[in-house]
Structure 1
């Protein structure tokens, strides 16, 4: 991957719907070069998909929360497998510092979020969790 590939990825992170012509103009290469590079990045699975990001207000009924998870001993793989099987876990991240894992939770209601938290707390190998409800996104 070179600077042109990195520039293309940076532009697509800002606007995944940007046209090939606009990408070409902003990177200073031809549309054919853009198309070829994007295809190669997709084939190499550097780019695994394109998505739409919604403002949180656009989904007023969806509650988001962040959960820090501390894992007991060497049970990280088992805990990850269980968390990935939990429908309320939107994404899961390995991290350093106070928490071993950081989970993004989604629920339609507070009652549903409570059920997700209850199921997660029952997972063997989890020593401690701390959950914060997502209130506002600034960027």
Structure 2
């Protein structure tokens, strides 16, 4: 990966809908080599996808919470079952496995407090291996979907 590839990645993180011509111009190469580099970055798994960023509130998801999950057991089967089941809960926007306690931290959205309470009681608490859940509502999102920092050393 060279400086041109890094510039391509930085530009795409700012605006993934740019045309190939605009992208090529902004990184200082012609369209054909830019296209080849872009395809190579996708093929090599550096670029893993493209998506639109949506405003949850505009779509009716007015409640957000951070949920901390402590597991009863940390064996491979329990972790695999929990993570597979968690993947089926669409309200979970992010899930991270942690070292120590809690074992997981989740970012969850819901239409309102009542919907979150139902999700918490009926789905999250029933996930395989869950010992304890703790949650706190999000007051305000300060940083979200930030691009990766400069990756000069690659």
- With normalisation by structure 2, the TM-score equals 0.73
For 1:100 and 1:35, locate their aligned partners in 2 and report how far apart those are by CA, in whole Å.
42
Which SS does the other structure have where 2:64 is aligned?
strand
Give 1:114 shift: 0.8
Partner of 1:53: 53
Greater RCO, CA 8 A, separation 6+: 2
Alignment of 1:110-125 (within 5 A): 110-118=113-121, 119-125=123-129
Residue-by-residue CA offset, 1:69-124 (whole Å, 9 max, x unaligned): 22222222121112112233233222335432222212222221111111211223
Gap runs ≥5 in structure 2: 144-154
Tell me how many residue pairs correspond in the alignment.
139
Query: Residues 2 and 128 from structure 1, CA distance in 2 versus in 1: closer, same or farther, beyond 3 angstroms?
Result: farther
Which SS does the other structure have where 2:127 is aligned?
coil
Which SS does the other structure have where 1:10 is aligned?
helix
Which SS does the other structure have where 2:86 is aligned?
helix
Query: Residues 51 and 135 from structure 1, CA distance in 2 versus in 1: closer, same or farther, beyond 3 angstroms?
Result: farther
- With normalisation by structure 1, the TM-score equals 0.79
Give 1:60 shift: 4.9
Gap runs ≥5 in structure 1: none
Partner of 2:136: 132
Q: Kindly indicate whether residue 112 of structure 2 is the aligned counterpart of residue 109 of structure 1.
A: yes
- Measured on the aligned residues, the alpha-carbon RMSD in Å equals 2.4
Q: Kindly indicate whether residue 99 of structure 2 is the aligned counterpart of residue 96 of structure 1.
A: yes
Partner of 1:10: 10
Query: Residues 30 and 97 from structure 1, CA distance in 2 versus in 1: closer, same or farther, beyond 3 angstroms?
Result: farther
Give 1:63 shift: 2.3
68-77 vs 40-49, greater mean Cα deviation? 40-49
